[in-house]
Chain A
Amino acid sequence: MQVKESRTRLDKTGTLEQAMKQFHDGSTVMFGGFGGVGNPPSLIDGIIEKGVKDLTLIGNDSGFPQIGIGKLISLGRAKKLIASHIGSNPVAGQLMIDGKMDVEFAAQGTLAERIRAGGVGLGGVLTDIGIGSMVEEGKEKVTVGGKDYLIEPALRAEVSIVYAKKADTFGNLIYDTSARNTNPLVAMAGAYTIAEAEEIVPAGELDPECIFTPGVFVDLVIPSKGVNWRWAWE
């Protein structure tokens, strides 16, 4: 894990080049987004260009072959993926079948809670989702109040990458509509969290009432070059 710089610096803005110092062969990287929506495009391109490999990626899904995190996965840069779904990315499916990428599936809501738990200092969550299914295999069970639950361990990453509509210089974040999805959870669960934002404003300009990710969770804010892929529906 990286040595954390103080998270109370008031100006956390920086560049893509600075952000790229956090990524190395074998890094564990958690990404925000759902079906490509809310995946941070400039950071993903940066990771691709840097050429890092053997990554462990953690996020909702594998995007589409040429959309979002899917671009990185399709290049074979991940040795492991922890996700709920890879159906929209046949390349990810092929990498799994060929034994080139290990995929660990989790139920979507359980995955979200494991990430949240990792971000908020919990060891994991108790859930009855998955009991009686393959998901149960190898997991500890516990009985609370006469009911059986699986113990689902918390997830954290060396680096978390998220996509925000607006950030201030302290790293407070606001998202756009359903591009929020897993981003606020992922933002909390990184030892080092990088937010890519469409717009960056001075601290004080965002209404504290409307902030979804408080800046304390964010280490670096970089400007986004915006989405540069064509959506599947276009």
Chain B
Amino acid sequence: MGMGVEERNRLARRAAEEIEDGMTVNLGIGIPSLVANFIPPEKGVMFHAENGVLGMGKAPEKGMENPNLCNAGGFPVTVVPGASYFDSAMAFGMIRGGYVDLAVLGGLEVSAAGDLANWIVPGKRVSGIGGAMELAKKARKVIVLMSHTNKDGDPKIVEQCSLPLTASACVDLIITELAVIEVTPEGLVLKEVAAPYTAEDVRARTGAGLRVAKELLTVE
């Protein structure tokens, strides 16, 4: 990804703004996992983990970890009042059943129609599907946090994904270090741009048609 700590945190903070009080939220590993740091407990958000926890709290203090109580990335967590544990079938039952309001995921490619590719680069190292297919397809809202271009500088937001899909027409919002882009039935809409970049800079780095919102926000 090549994003610095500050930039990763900025993306996570922006994604946190999309989270409403009382939502059930699943955070993917990597940058998405940072989003929890920007959600105050009083918002009553319940964080869901595929390995069978609803109501994850902050990381435990050093020395206080229960090695069995982890998030899906394998890091120790605590739980908040109202939390529950359950097996993997129920964890995914919640996702497929439509009880997860929001999933924040990473991405390799997102298409103009909101197709997401994030699990395999054929011929290269394959890490596997994990819970991405269920989350992408069944969470009520899907936000993708990713770098705007890949390490070769090629756009990751494209007309049609070239990589195998995780799920089609599933992404609602894309947040990158350059921009916030909404996926609408009429295509991609640029909502926010990060100064000093301009809408034209974002267009030049985007591989799909991009309409600029009437009230484009420039974020310092």
Contacts and interface: CB of A to CB of B under 8 A. Distances in A.
Interface in A216-234: 227, 231-233
A67 B93 CA distance: 28
Contact of B87 (A107, A165, A181): A181
Contacts of A112: 87-89, 91-92
Interface in B111-141: 120, 125-134, 137-138
B88 A181 contact: yes
B125 A105 contact: no
B196 interface: no
Interface string B67-111: 111101111100000000111110111011000000000000000
A96 B168 CA distance: 27
A56 B76 CA distance: 30
A93 B127 contact: yes
Contacts of B92: 108-110, 112-113
Contacts of B53: 177-178
A84 interface: yes
A97 interface: yes
B164 interface: yes
Interface residues of B, number: 44
Interface in B166-211: 166-168
A178 B69 contact: yes
Contacts of A135: 129, 133
B88 A133 contact: no
B66 A177 contact: yes
A165 B74 CA distance: 19
A179 B129 CA distance: 21
A113 B89 contact: yes
A192 interface: no
B52 interface: yes
Contacts of B19: none
A10 to B, nearest CB: 26
B125 A35 contact: no
A116 B87 CA distance: 11
A184 interface: yes
A106 B89 contact: no
B6 to A, nearest CB: 23
Contacts of A55: none
Contacts of A180: 52, 85-87
A51 interface: no
A181 to B, nearest CB: 5
A233 B126 contact: no
B129 A128 contact: no
B147 interface: no
A34 B92 CA distance: 14
A130 B87 contact: no
Contacts of A84: 128-131
A129 B74 contact: no
Contact of B131 (A64, A86, A109, A182): A109
Contact of A177 (B50, B85, B134, B137): B85
Contacts of A177: 53, 66, 68-69, 85
A183 B87 contact: yes
A181 B65 CA distance: 18
Contacts of B95: 109
Contacts of A19: none
Max chain A Cβ within 10 angstroms of own Cβ: one of B66, B72, B88, B167: B88
A136 to B, nearest CB: 10
Interface of B: 49-53, 65-70, 72-76, 85-89, 91-93, 95-96, 120, 125-134, 137-138, 164-168
9 contacts: A85-B127, A85-B128, A87-B127, A103-B128, A109-B91, A112-B92, A177-B69, A179-B69, A181-B88
The 7 closest A-B pairs by CB, nearest first: A109-B92, A87-B127, A85-B128, A179-B68, A35-B74, A112-B88, A177-B69
